[in-house]
Structure 1
Amino acid sequence: MKLIVVSAGLNSPSATRLLADRLTAATLRGADAEPEVIELRDLATEIAQHLVTGFPPARLAAALDAVAAADGLIAVTPVFAASYSGLFKSFFDLIDKDALTGKPVLLGATGGTARHSLVTEHALRPLFTHLRALTLPTAVYAASQDWGQEGLAQRILRAGAELARFMTPPTHDTTPTHDTTPDLGTAPDLGTAAAIAPRSPTGAITSVDPAGGFEVVPFAQRLAALSVD
């Protein structure tokens, strides 16, 4: 399986890349996948060229193809003006409209203050919902004061476990749990047979034969037996 990690951090090193790396490590604890990190800061010029010309340079085309072919995606952005960064949005504007359909995506964001902790819900989740991706229930926001705190570590582990679970294909046990082969040698239960006794195409009512079969009795004969002289 292929795990693609998109980091939109602008510095090197950056808190955004640190969060992306920790989310990747948490995911790999439960999924046997090959990770690949795409640093958008290295593709900024190519992204701008593609937006202007409509043609992606080779490195950007490879990155877009990798995202489309991924079995799972981790997308992490720094917060600018209470939303995702322009570089992050520009990259995903170039993704084919069907490339992320049904793909599990783990959302992450970093910021200087806890006041922006809902950016994953009011900005990131709507963006990936529009792209028809499967956004995981747990998104991770890391403010500056969160690093080293147990709460952030727990959220990272929970989010990684969710992505690993959605990336791992389910195993189906084809061994039957009980014998479903009908027993053709056993006489039918008369109570059941009577309950499901069919009607003939002419409207005749069938009754159960004690010998083990069905006896067709014409409707007119049944009606005559009920009539009073």
Structure 2
Amino acid sequence: MTTRTIAVVSAGISVPSSTRLLADRLAAATVSALRERGVDTKVDVIELRDHGHELVDNVLTGFPRPELQAALKAATDADGLIAVTPTFSASYNGLFKMFFDVLESDSLAGKPTLIAATGGTGRHSLALEHAVRPLFAFLRAMVVPTSVFSAPEDWGAGDRTAQSLDQRIARAAGELAEIVAARPAQKAADPFLEPTPFEQLLNGS
């Protein structure tokens, strides 16, 4: 089988985290959907709470530490992206925003992306459409049609809301897998292939 890489960005704060739980379920469903299409998958999980101080330093200095640089590279080099945030004040949280703020310009352009969020109540579900999806539209990522929101009531065992969450996870994962499987594997960019011209460096541009 061919192999693709899926980067999973989880911006959960607590441990254990419902955001990470949702991220893991989306990743597992995507791996399964890709396997059905004859594609093997490597999953790279990026837990943003582990990079909180590094993200603040990057925002202040403009330079990522090696650990954060590796996480940024994993996201930009992946064939597909799953991005999951908790909902704070009807939007994504600060860690989530900072991570995507410090990415290089256009590094997610055309990237197949699945967006998801968690919240204390289903009333926050519209945050995906009025906050998270516009963020990735600005980054020019290719966001799949189905977004996935989960509230505490969605995690019941075997009840109707839990079944609905399972269905949404499967549908979104299938959409992401369909796009990723149809594309050639992403190749990591080599910065030495197209070095910045010396004249441009002198001009500071």
Residue 75 (1) aligns with residue 83 (2)? yes
Aligned-partner SS, 2:87: strand
Provide Cα deviations, 1:93-143, integer angstroms capped at 9, x if missing partner: 011121111011000000000101111100000000000000000000001
CA distance in 1, matches of 2:172, 2:41: 16
Once the two structures are TM-superposed, the CA of residue 65 in structure 1 deviates from its matched residue by: 0.9
Q: Distance in 2 between matches of 1:88 and 1:18?
A: 16
Q: How many angstroms apart in 2 are the aligned matches of 1:167 and 1:46? A: 30
Match of 1:109 among 106, 117, 120: 117
Q: 1:8 aligns with which of 8, 11, 32?
A: 11
Q: Compute the TM-score of the two structures, normalised by the length of structure 2.
A: 0.82
- Aligned partners of 1:72, 1:135: CA distance in 2, in Å? 10
Indicate yes or no: 2:32 matched with 1:19.
Answer: no
Offset at 1:169?
2.4
Q: TM-score, normalised by structure 1?
A: 0.73
1:33, CA displacement in angstroms? Answer: 1.3
Change in CA separation of 1:170 and 1:92 when aligned onto 2, cut-off 3 Å = closer
- From 90, 102, 122, the equivalent of 1:94 is 102
Counting aligned pairs with the same residue, the percent is 56
1:129 aligns to what? Answer: 137
For residues 94 and 83 of structure 2, the distance between their equivalents in structure 1, rounded to whole angstroms, comes to 14
| Number of corresponding residues | 171
- Distance (Å, rounded) in 2 between the aligned partners of 1:103 and 1:64: 14
Distance 1:101 1:70 in 2: 12
Q: Provide the C-alpha distance between the structure 2 equivalents of 1:134 and 1:111, rounded to a whole number of angstroms.
A: 24
What is residue 159 of structure 2 aligned with on the other side?
A: none
SS class of match (1:74): strand
Aligned to 2:180: 167
Distance (Å, rounded) in 2 between the aligned partners of 1:94 and 1:20: 21
Cα shift readout 1:183-226 (whole Å, capped 9, x = no counterpart): xxxxxxxxxxxxxxxxxxxxxxxxxxxxxxxxxxxxxxxxxxxx
In 2: Cα distance, 1:25 partner to 1:94 partner: 28
Partner of 2:190: none
Partner of 2:106, secondary structure, is coil
**Closer, same or farther: CA 170–103 of 1 in aligned 2, 3 Å:** closer
Structure index of larger Rg: 1
Task: Specify every segment of 5 or more residues in structure 1 that has no aligned partner in the other structure, as ranges.
Answer: 172-229
Amino acid at match of 2:182: P
Matches within 5 A, 1:49-68: 49-68=57-76
Moved beyond 4 Å, runs of 4+: none
Q: For 1:35, give the aligned amino acid.
A: V
Question: What do you get for the CA RMSD once the two structures are aligned?
Answer: 1.1
Aligned counterpart, 2:199: none
| Structure 2 segments unaligned to the other structure (5+ residues) | 35-39, 157-161, 185-205
State the SS of the aligned residue for 2:150: strand
Identify the residue that residue 164 of structure 2 maps to in structure 1.
151
The CA deviation string for residues 17-40 of structure 1, in whole angstroms up to 9 with x for no partner, is 000000001100121210010000
Q: What amino acid is aligned across from residue 104 of structure 1 in structure 2?
A: P
SS in structure 1 of the partner of residue 118 of structure 2:
strand
